[in-house]
Amino acid sequence: MRGVETRIQEIRHRIFREVARMAYHTEWPVDKRIEELPYKIIPGEVGNFRNNVFLERAIVGERLRLAMGLPYRSAANHAPLSEGIELADKAETYYTPPLINIIKFACHGCVEKRVYVTNGCQGCLAHPCAEVCPTGAVSIDKESGFSSINQEKCIKCGRCANVCAYNAIIIQTRPCAASCGMDAISSDENGKADIDYDKCVSCGQCLVNCPFGAISDKSQIFQTIRAIQSGERVYAAIAPAFVGQFGPKVTPGKLRAAMKALGFADVFEVAIGADLCATQEAEDFLSEVPEKLPFMGTSCCPSWALMAKKVFPDQANCISMALTPMTLTARLIKKHHPDGKVVFIGPCSAKKLEAMWTEVRSEVDFVLTFEEMAGIFDAKHIDIENLNEDPNGVNDASTAGRNFAVAGGVAKAVVGVIKKQYPDKEVKVMNAEGLVDCRKMVMMAKAGKYPGYLLEGMACPGGCVAGPGTMQNIKKSQGAVNQYASKASHIVASETESVKELDKLVE
């Protein structure tokens, strides 16, 4: 749960911080340092989280490897933690699949689904739970009157739970699987969670919903820092969801100053790319719907777009071919700074997936989350709140572009561009948050329920501000983004100066 500092967030932050410190301290031999870090992060002889210090260090070790961008190894592997460490220190190190990894020996092996009678049962006289059970799985103890469920007979329909006046019967589901809108998580032969990568779209919702911290994605913290140290001109492209992520007192100007203190050559708001994306999608919608396409889906969320293409291949052409804000911003940066490197910094693990695509690799060199950036700031002891403002960043974005970060904002931006050109044109919109609802929306569109509509899909409930790389309460983040967006010098996405360069960026 974002906004709550749990033990999982604490251990993740330590790992990101230590990987960043390892990158900054070039005098440290990386192979030796990574072997020492589990003992630094989990000191002493007693475990802090699982009461097994050896298991905790083993889990931390694999988390460190993933944070270095290295592959996860199972408990059956007999090799030092530093195995293949030289692969992390190459100039051109892209994310390699799989991006999202389950550390099997950290997995609790949760039951996939069960209906369970708690001790809240009052042994009532009515016992409607037994009356509604279609398989006779619910029985009543004659002496106490308490209910119990025969798991072999139970079909997990949940009728008993629905009729219990005391809410004493609960339906338990594996949290990672329940949060996966692609049904990509099942159990392996040992009862541990397992990801079907043919279904997975790297939305990262399983990562933030696992209460045992057994799921982790790869990172490019080390590679980004080393690129800056090597003398490369590295440009930061910060997603619109950044507002409020580093604390309520951290203004955009202070964050910009902090990024430059780390050695970034300049800082760009990806809201600029969002303006370009909205303008391009508006052009596509006007030219193709409904004459060529029955409806059009937005393109900016890679998990949503990939889901639609995987699950509904016959409707794949209905997803806009417009470039995403990340890619458009990167192209804009490299158009003006052809020798520069671009780091996208945002809320999203799926952007790491997008950066792995061949057609995007030449545009985006590194992808980091806000959570990973917080580890870097900590490693360099940068107190962002007390820095002087640096208001001179590249921030000529619109209100609509900045609101891309909030569910509904993308469609609103596209409609705004269309209305600017054709004030009397009616544009029907439907939006969905979370991949389960996104799938339902496309299914309805496929059945002809949304003719001529613009469909906005967001893999994360709440929008980008709810991405797995965010740290703050989702509702507060939405409010912070809306407030910052209202201060933009333009309202409509097509009004910004950068839009004039769109044709050159997509040719």
| CATH number of the domain bearing residue 403 | 3.40.950.10
Residue 140: inside a domain, yes or no?
A: yes
- Give the chain's length: 507
Are 406 and 491 contained in the same domain? yes
Q: What token pair was written down for 21?
A: 């410190």
Residue 82: inside a domain, yes or no?
A: yes
| Res 419: pLDDT | 97
Are 144 and 262 contained in the same domain? no
Are 302 and 444 contained in the same domain? yes
- Separation between Cα atoms, residue 136 and residue 470, nearest integer Å: 46
The values of phi and psi at residue 267, to 5°, are -130, 130
Are 287 and 202 contained in the same domain? no
Picking from 222, 248, 281, the residue at the C-terminal end of a domain is 222
Residue 1: inside a domain, yes or no?
A: no
Query: What's the domain range around 17?
Result: 7-105+183-222
Q: E strand or H helix at 113, and its extent?
A: strand 113-117
Q: CB of 234 within 8 A of CB of 264? A: yes
| Res 93: pLDDT | 67
Q: DSSP states of 88-106 as a string?
A: GG-SS----S--EEE-GGG
Are 210 and 229 contained in the same domain? no
Q: Hey, how many other C-beta atoms are within 10 angstroms of the C-beta on 280?
A: 24
Are 216 and 336 contained in the same domain? no
| Res 91: pLDDT | 65
Residue 438: inside a domain, yes or no?
A: yes
Residue 178: inside a domain, yes or no?
A: no
Picking from 196, 222, 248, the residue at the C-terminal end of a domain is 222
| Identity of the residue numbered 271 | A
Number of domains in the chain: 3
Are 238 and 320 contained in the same domain? yes
Residue 258: inside a domain, yes or no?
A: yes
Picking from 193, 222, 251, the residue at the C-terminal end of a domain is 222
Q: What token pair was written down for 502?
A: 């769109």
| Res 48: pLDDT | 76
Residue 321: inside a domain, yes or no?
A: yes
The values of phi and psi at residue 215, to 5°, are -115, 135
- Separation between Cα atoms, residue 474 and residue 458, nearest integer Å: 14
Q: CB of 87 within 8 A of CB of 93? A: yes
Are 287 and 210 contained in the same domain? no
- 3 state SS for 335-397: HHCCCCEEEEEECCCHHHHHHHCHHHHCCCCEEEEHHHHHHHHHHCCCCHHHCCCCCCCECCC
| Res 200: pLDDT | 97
Are 273 and 382 contained in the same domain? yes
Are 76 and 209 contained in the same domain? yes
Residue 2: inside a domain, yes or no?
A: no
Following CA atoms 243, 247, 251, 253 in sequence, which dihedral angle do they give, to the nearest 10 degrees? -100
DSSP-based three-state secondary structure for 468: coil
Are 166 and 279 contained in the same domain? no
- Separation between Cα atoms, residue 142 and residue 190, nearest integer Å: 37
Question: pLDDT tens, position by position, for the chain (507 residues)?
Answer: 577 889 999 999 999 999 999 999 999 999 999 999 999 999 999 887 777 999 999 999 999 999 999 999 999 989 999 999 998 987 666 788 899 999 999 999 999 999 999 999 999 999 999 999 999 999 999 999 999 999 999 999 999 999 999 999 999 999 999 999 999 999 999 999 999 999 999 999 999 999 999 999 999 999 999 999 999 999 999 999 999 999 999 999 999 999 999 999 999 999 999 999 999 999 999 999 999 999 999 999 999 999 999 999 999 999 999 999 999 999 999 999 999 999 999 999 999 999 999 888 889 999 999 999 999 999 999 999 999 999 877 788 999 999 999 999 999 999 999 999 999 999 999 999 999 999 999 999 999 999 999 999 999 999 999 999 999 999 999 999 999 999 999 999 999 999 999 998 987
Side-chain-side CA neighbours of 503 within 13 Å: the count stands at 1
Q: What is the largest CA-CA distance in the chain?
A: 80
Are 229 and 216 contained in the same domain? no
Following CA atoms 346, 350, 351, 357 in sequence, which dihedral angle do they give, to the nearest 10 degrees? 170
Side-chain-side CA neighbours of 280 within 13 Å: the count stands at 29
